[in-house]
Structure formats: C-alpha cells, structure tokens
Structure 1
Amino acid sequence: MRTAKICLTGAAAAALVAALAGPAAAAPTVETDATFEVTAGTLDVTAPATADLGAGGSGTAIIGELGEVEVEDTRASADASWIASVTATVFQTGGGSPPETVLPEEIDYWSGAATGTTGTGTFTPGQLTSGDAAPLSTVTPLTAFSHSGGTGNNSAAWNPTLVVNVPLDSIAGEYAGTVTHSVA
C-alpha cells in the first residue's frame, strides 16, 4: 500500500507541473485577409530639357554634348530588350524672312559609350566612336542605344555629341530645334 501512495503522489505532482508549465488556454482563432498588388513596370527615357551646343561660323562644325540621356526599364521582363532612337526637327533662326534653317541631315549624332548601366544583357551604343557619327533625320529614326537579352530591370545612360555641319550660306543668328529620343 505504501507503494501505491508514492505512485499516486508522484502522479499528482507530475499533473501539477504539467498544468503550471503547459500552454495557456488558446484564444479564439482570428483570420486576417491580406492583399498585395503587382504593379506594371515602365520603359522610360529621359534627356535634358535644353542644351547649348556652342557657336561657330558658316562652313564650320559646331560640336557639343547634348547632356545625359537615360533609358530606365522597370518592366521586369523575361526578355528585357529595347531600342532607343533619336530624330530632330529643322533648326531655325529668327532672323530673315523666311527664317534660315539648318536641316537635321546636316547634324551628326554620336552616342558614345555608356556612362552607366545596370542589369543583365548586352548594352550597345548606336555610334560608339566619332567616326561612327550619323546624320539625324526628321523622318527616319537613328538608333541611339540598344539593349538585348537579359532579364528583369535594367538601365543605360549616355552623353551624346552633336556635330552641326554649318552650311556655307548660313546667316548669323541663334538656331533652335528639337532633338527627340524615344524608346520601345
């Protein structure tokens, strides 16, 4: 009988320890509905709003940098390829009637090497060296820079140079026109 008391006392002690050390009583269950949104990325190009290319006389070449152009691709695509192209308007001066013009075909564009890139794939300048400079056009876009292959987000920046081949019969004055970069 003495053995039974010890076992009973041991069992009672174990039950007391289990009750004190056991988990607290469970609270009622609570559910939380959670949401998230996947946003569509974009393919964007930015360039300076203005650029002063310099000055020169008739029959000379005016050479000036346009300023940094950047393509940013946040589409997170499996094929993150794109082509940035460039066109220009006719450049005109306010002097004279009608205004004097320099045609885009008399202005060469040279993208040069990238000043910075992010992401994977191959980044290719349209015109790597000054010897590769090509004339602009109002109609036919010139490839300024491209990206092929790679996946996910990427970006490229470059600082193109414009070479204005001033015609011999150009009158003095400030000529203004627009250089337009686009990306697709």
Structure 2
Amino acid sequence: MRTAKICLMGAVAVAAVGLGATPAAAAPTDSTTVTFEILAGTLDIDAPTTADLGTGAPGGTITGSLGPVTVTDSRGATDASWVASVTASVFQTGGGTPPETVLPEEIDYWSGPATATTGTGTFTPGQATAGDAEPLSSVTPVVAFTHTGGTGGNTATWNPTLIVNVPLDSVAGVYTGTVTHSVA
C-alpha cells in the first residue's frame, strides 16, 4: 500500500507541474524598420570605336552607318532630362603635302529613330528622317538625341547614318577623322 501511495503522489506531483506551467504568449504582430539607399550614378554615352563608311567617287556621296550609340542615365534624378550632341574633326588623307581634307560640314548626320529605349520620359531623335540630316561641325554641336522628363534611370540607343558629300576636287585615298558624341 505504501508503494501505491508513493506512486500516486509522484503522479500527482507530475500533473501539478504540468498544470502550473503556462505556455509563452506570442505577440500578435511585430515590425522591423528597414532602410536601403539608391545610389546616384552617372550619365554616360558609348559609341563605336571605329566605323568604315565605304567608298565613293569625287562629286558623289558615301553613306554608311556609324553603329549603335547608347546613352545610359543612372543618375536617379527627379528630372532625368539630357541632350546628346555630336561634332566631327576634319577628315584627312596622307596623299599630299599638306594632307588632303574633307571638312566636317561636308558630312551630314542623321540620327534616325531610337532602336531601343528604357525608362520613362520622351525620347526624341535629332534627325528623325534622312531628309532631316544636318551637316556636322567641328565647332557647333549638332543635337543627336534628347530625353525630356521622366525620373530615375533610362537608356536610349540609335544607329546614326553619316552621308559624306565628297567634294569634286578630292584626291583618292583613305580619309580618317573623328566623330565625337557627348551627353549632358
């Protein structure tokens, strides 16, 4: 009998411990304050390193694509507007002393429409059609493309065409010059 009492008392003690313990109460909600930073980037323009427009005769034209030009705007601005412009150097050949030249004003630039864009705002070509082509200059920049409005980041790519109006008095040779795109 004494064994039964001890067992019964042990069982009661175990039950009392189980009844006395209450489960931990969980909070119904909890909040975490989260922060992050969007960094201000840059406004860049990339153009092909080289381009070969082809061949032509004195008094004729040489027409060729420059290759894709891309503006990348990662400034994260509230007004993500920009203007891309283009100038050119004098084109020269080593065929004479002094070298023979073709002036930038004898080369027309036609941006054409965008081939790709991302972001918000309005993308506008400087010369939407071939009929809008403008002569280049070594002094006065020609507007190649613009972006107005929008916020945050954006990109625009176009593939401009150059039209060389070969002067009638040009001598034979390979002419080399530089076409420079800039963006601000």
For Structure 1 versus Structure 2, the TM-score category normalised by the shorter chain is 0.7 to 0.9
1:22 to 6, 24, 29: 24
Task: Give percent identity, aligned residues only.
Answer: 69
SS of residue in 1 equivalent to 2:154:
strand
Partner Cα separation in structure 2 for residue 22 and residue 77 of structure 1: 50
Alignment of 1:21-170 (within 5 A): 21-22=23-24, 38-170=38-170
SS of residue in 2 equivalent to 1:105:
helix
- Give the root-mean-square deviation of aligned CA atoms: 2.2
- The number of equivalent residue pairs is 164
Partner Cα separation in structure 1 for residue 122 and residue 47 of structure 2: 22
SS of residue in 2 equivalent to 1:14:
helix
Question: TM-score w.r.t. structure 1 length?
Answer: 0.84
Partner Cα separation in structure 2 for residue 122 and residue 83 of structure 1: 12
Shift in Å, 1:35: 9.2
Preserved contact between residue 39 and residue 76 of structure 2 (Cα < 8 Å): no
Shift in Å, 1:10: 8.2
The Cα offsets for residues 91-123 of structure 1, whole Å up to 9 and x where unpaired, read as 000110000000000000000000000000000
1:26 — aligned with what? none
**Quick one: which amino acid aligns to residue 134 of structure 2?**
A
Unmatched tracts of structure 1, length 5 or more: 1-8, 24-33
1:31 — aligned with what? none
